[in-house]
Amino acid sequence: MSVQYDLHSHSTASDGSLRPSELVRLAKLRRIDVLALTDHDNIDGIREARFEASKVGLQLVAGAEISVSWGRSETIHIVGLHLDIDNPVLLKGLQRLCEFRQWRSEEIGRRLAKKHIEGAWEGARAFAKGNIIGRVHFARFLIKQGYAKDMKQVFKRYLVQGKPGYVPGDWATLEDALDWVHSAGGQAVIAHPARYRLSATRVRQLLGEFQDLGGAALEVVSGSHSRDEIQRMAQWCCGCGLLASVGSDYHGPENPYMDMGKLSAMPANCVPVWESSAWISSQEVQAATAPDTLPLAL
Ligand code: AMP
Ligand code: MN
Ligand code: MN
Ligand code: MN
């Protein structure tokens, strides 16, 4: 049997709904051999996930999904894999993003209050089990209050650009994000590339900048990509010589669109990120490192 990889997933350390240990156990049940935990802008769940992975016999890749502001108003997500979670450059960078997230969550609350939706910040915070409050937590609160029937509708009505609960991001630059990942000994991957609304010219620009900064891979197979998008991303990937990654972007059982253990196979024309020498050497480092101390309480 071939090794099953899932290199993009979320826990309660960001906007997923399973604790890191529960996520690892589910991955094991779904026959994933190598799982990357990649919470938004933090690595708070890694120790717990690593501890569980060592118990159940699964390889845990320490990751993070870093929010990047690119161009005039685009938000791009960069997945960092094989991160040294004690690296001070990475930790300082993520700390800055978490401080922005704190302010942004309060601002979302204020903007919704102006639209007569009271108590949104407190409501969102009650859904957040880790240190960050993201749009998904506001979405869960708004659905509970009956403002929308599901995630899709609540984002469309309240939380995307031009809607009352949207606050423009002041995220990392692409340059900073890759610097943090590389300082921490990791590899950088452009997450779910088909999700961005970019013209062909802007895509070429993004891929060019990413490669110039030493970016490693494109997430060709994503839980949020259709079959056609996977083929299109495979062509982009081969066209510019990037490696290819796979990730479900799993957020928990209530999001049926991005399930775990159901990813399409990697297109044959792509070179998988795990075949790179950087990947192989970081695996050796992981194998030589004893499991961490106590899991973190989230
Ligand atoms: P944030 O980083 O707090 O701005 O939230 C981004 C997260 O919101 C993504 O990682 C998804 O989990 C979720 N998200 C973004 N857009 C949508 C959408 N249209 N429908 C459902 N979830 C979404
Ligand atoms: Mn998310
Ligand atoms: Mn993302
Ligand atoms: Mn994600």
Q: Where does the pLDDT of residue 280 fall: very low under 50, low under 70, confident under 90, or very high at 90 and above?
A: confident
Model confidence at 286, pLDDT cuts 50, 70, 90, reads: low
Residue 198 and residue 12: Cα distance in Å, rounded? 30
Task: Compute the average pLDDT of residues 240-266.
Answer: 93
Residue 252 pLDDT greater than 70, yes or no: yes
- Whether the pLDDT of residue 295 is over 70: the answer is no
Ligand 3 midpoint to CA 78 (Å): 8
Percent of the chain surpassing pLDDT 70: 95
**Mean pLDDT lowest among 121-125, 241-245, 284-288, 289-293:** 289-293
- Residue nearest ligand 1's atom 13 by CA: 136
Nearest CA to ligand 1 atom 2: 134
Checking if the pLDDT of 297 tops 60, the result is no
Q: In what side-by-side order are the strands of the sheet with 243-247?
A: 5-6, 34-40, 59-70, 74-81, 187-190, 217-222, 243-247
Q: What is the DSSP letter of 218?
A: E
Confidence at residue 99, expressed as pLDDT on a 0 to 100 scale: 98
β-sheet bridge partners, residue 81: 187
The percentage of the chain sitting over the pLDDT mark of 90, rounded to a whole number, equals 88
Count Cβ neighbours within 10 Å for each residue of 259-296 and write b for 16 or more, e otherwise. Answer: ebeebeebbeebebbbeeebbeebeeeeeeeeebeebb
The rounded distance, in Å, linking the Cα atoms of 165 and 44 is: 26
Considering only CA atoms, which residue is closest to atom 20 of ligand 1?
152
Of 65, 155, 254, 255, the one to substitute when testing ligand 1's pocket (max ligand atoms within 8 A of C-beta) is 155
Residue 287 has pLDDT above 70, yes or no: no
Closest CA to 250 of 75, 33, 11: 11
- Tens of pLDDT, residues 116-144: 999 999 999 999 999 999 999 999 999 99
pLDDT interval class at 298 (50, 70, 90): low
> C-alpha distances in angstroms, 48 versus 16, 51, 59?
15, 5, 13
| Side-chain-facing half-sphere of 107: CA atoms under 13 Å | 12
CA of 6 relative to ligand 1 center, distance in Å: 19
pLDDT exceeds cutoff 70 at 259 = yes
Q: Are 147 and 117 in contact (CB under 8 A)?
A: yes
Residue 119 has what DSSP assignment? T
Ligand 1, atom 16, residue with closest C-alpha:
155
Could you report the per-residue pLDDT of 188-209, keeping only the tens digit for each?
Answer: 999 999 999 899 899 999 999 9
pLDDT tens for each residue of 1-55: 799 999 999 999 999 999 999 999 999 999 999 999 999 999 999 999 999 999 9
User: What is the DSSP-derived secondary structure letter of residue 9?
Assistant: B
Q: Is the pLDDT of residue 278 over 90?
A: no
Confidence bin at 185 (pLDDT 50/70/90): very high
